[in-house]
Amino acid sequence: MSDLHHLLTFPTRPITSDVYKTQLNHLLKSGIPSTYTLEQVAAFEQGKEDEEDDPEASNTTPLHILARSLPKDATTEELKVVLNMMNTLFEYGAGWNFLDYENKSIGDLLLENGQGRESDLYKRVVEAGVSAELLLRKVNGGDIEFLDGPMDVQEDEGNVEETPETKETVIDSDLTASDPKTYLSTELEYTDGKLITKENKDGVMMDWEDSIMKLAADTLFFGATNPKEATVLNIGFGMGIIDTYIQEKNPAHHYICEAHPDVLAKMKQDGWYEKPNVTILEGKWQDTLNKLLDDGSVFLDGIYYDTLSEHYQDMLDLYDVIVGLIKPEGVFSFFNGLGADRPICYDVYKRIVELDVNNYGMNCEYTTIQIGKQLPDWNDVKRSYYNCDYYYHPRISFM
């Protein structure tokens, strides 16, 4: 076991600055970058750091060891020391979202060890994640670089980047939902309480989201003095859950933007084209909303966004359109599955959305709702797209 590994397992109590921070600094200054995985640290100490990476090695980092070994009964004073140790590791460039040999992130381990989402240690990892994501965007000249899957290892840079998708996060490259073009030409199937791709059984929409859609429909009318005089837009029809809730409010005008031919056919079959207050915008929002914007006559009280196989970069593009379409008192909301594969990523993206909409003079307020009991067992779909038992519902409006 390396000296660093030993130190991070908290062999002596109480944890004091003298014992830990000083020694940690000393060890790191002697030349072991904390971005090294533990296997690499061990190799370094044995003078083998130039040898080829072991393909079997996990990405267990010193921060994982620290989070995994954290005593559940740590006192406030001890936690302050641990926070300092984390600061030191981050200063030396530690990554926030590596997955260890048990497929766990630092955030997962902290939560397991009693450090809740409001704890200083967990919040420190969130802060590191937000900084890393924003820095990465800067480095990429403003573009967000997405890899093929969440937590994929970017081996040449020794870093890991999360790929938040707006809905189904792609982990298997063969998921139909991973690519908008493929998705839009894939046959869909409405089954009991689900909309899935026919061949691959990728989940497009599921009725466990019903209560989220009800809440979202209410949110869209938040700024309107009279719902019956309001004009709202929903992007992505899916199973029409939110649109059904919107119709219950009988708004003056209800736009629905939908791109998939099978979904449009279902909308026709179910009479959505005949509803007097509904206008269907057929096609991708990237095409149809710009026309609406150019038209210059539509101003919206509420906009909801819930598509599939799009990335956070698409949401950034959408913000540009939204500010042109929404009334000053209007509200924007979206299905918030950004990074919902894992609590730590979900929290990082919660914050990133806040920062991004601030740039447009908008504010994002979240309501946290518990959804654990609603979550399905995911047996009939290829992969779960939501793994947190709570949901951050966003309400975005001008400040």
Q: How far apart are CA 119 and CA 125, in angstroms?
A: 10
Distance of CA 365 to the CA centre of its chain: 16
Estimate the crossing angle of helix 312-325 against helix 343-358, to 10 degrees.
30
Q: Provide, rounded to whole angstroms, the least separation between the CB of residue 239 and ligand SAM.
A: 4
Written as one string, the DSSP assignment of 273-310 is GG-TTEEEEES-HHHHHHHHHHH----EEEEEE--SS-
Residues 172-211, one symbol each (x = binds ligand SAM by CB under 6 A, - = not), give --------------------------------xx------
> Does 322 contact ligand SAM by CB under 6 A?
no
Q: Provide, rounded to whole angstroms, the least separation between the CB of residue 372 and ligand SAM.
A: 20
Q: Provide, rounded to whole angstroms, the least separation between the CB of residue 233 and ligand SAM.
A: 11
Size of the site for ligand SAM (CB under 6 A): 23
Interface residue with ligand SAM among 94, 239, 267, 345 (CB under 6 A) is 239
Q: How far apart are CA 36 and CA 4, in angstroms?
A: 11
Closest to ligand SAM by CB, 58 vs 384, is 384
Q: Is 180 exposed, middle or buried (0-12, 13-18, 19+ CB in 10 A)?
A: middle
Q: Is residue 357 helix, strand or coil?
A: helix
Which residue stretch of 60-68, 140-148, 306-314, 381-389 sits at the interface with ligand SAM (rule: CB under 6 A)? 306-314
Closest to ligand SAM by CB, 65 vs 241, is 241
Query: Which tokens is 295 given?
Result: 């038209």
Q: Provide, rounded to whole angstroms, the least separation between the CB of residue 250 and ligand SAM.
A: 18
> Does 292 contact ligand SAM by CB under 6 A?
no
Closest to ligand SAM by CB, 123 vs 249, is 249
> Does 326 contact ligand SAM by CB under 6 A?
no
Interface residue with ligand SAM among 144, 177, 259, 352 (CB under 6 A) is 259
> Does 107 contact ligand SAM by CB under 6 A?
no
Query: Which tokens is 300 given?
Result: 């919206």
Residue with tokens 């598509």: 307
> Helices in 97-237 by DSSP H: which ranges?
106-112, 120-139, 180-184, 210-220
Task: Please say whether the dihedral angle defined by the alpha carbons of residues 107, 113, 116 and 121, taken in this order, is positive or negative.
Answer: negative
Which residue stretch of 100-108, 139-147, 233-241, 344-352 sits at the interface with ligand SAM (rule: CB under 6 A)? 233-241
Q: How far apart are CA 170 and CA 163, in angstroms?
A: 8
> Does 235 contact ligand SAM by CB under 6 A?
yes
Phi and psi, residue 35, nearest 5°: -80, -10
Q: How far apart are CA 98 and CA 37, in angstroms?
A: 9
Q: How far apart are CA 392 and CA 370, in angstroms?
A: 9
Contact (Cβ atoms closer than 8 angstroms) between residue 392 and residue 346 = yes
Closest to ligand SAM by CB, 284 vs 350, is 284
Q: Provide, rounded to whole angstroms, the least separation between the CB of residue 182 and ligand SAM.
A: 12
Closest to ligand SAM by CB, 1 vs 369, is 369
Residues 208-227, one symbol each (x = binds ligand SAM by CB under 6 A, - = not), give -----x--------------
> Does 394 contact ligand SAM by CB under 6 A?
no
> Does 263 contact ligand SAM by CB under 6 A?
yes
> Does 240 contact ligand SAM by CB under 6 A?
yes
Contact (Cβ atoms closer than 8 angstroms) between residue 187 and residue 397 = no
Q: How far apart are CA 311 and CA 153, in angstroms?
A: 19
> Does 170 contact ligand SAM by CB under 6 A?
no
Which residue stretch of 63-71, 125-133, 234-242, 319-327 sits at the interface with ligand SAM (rule: CB under 6 A)? 234-242
Interface residue with ligand SAM among 62, 238, 337, 343 (CB under 6 A) is 238
Judged by the rule CB under 6 A, the positions of this chain that interact with ligand SAM are 167, 204-205, 213, 235-242, 257-260, 263, 284-286, 306-308
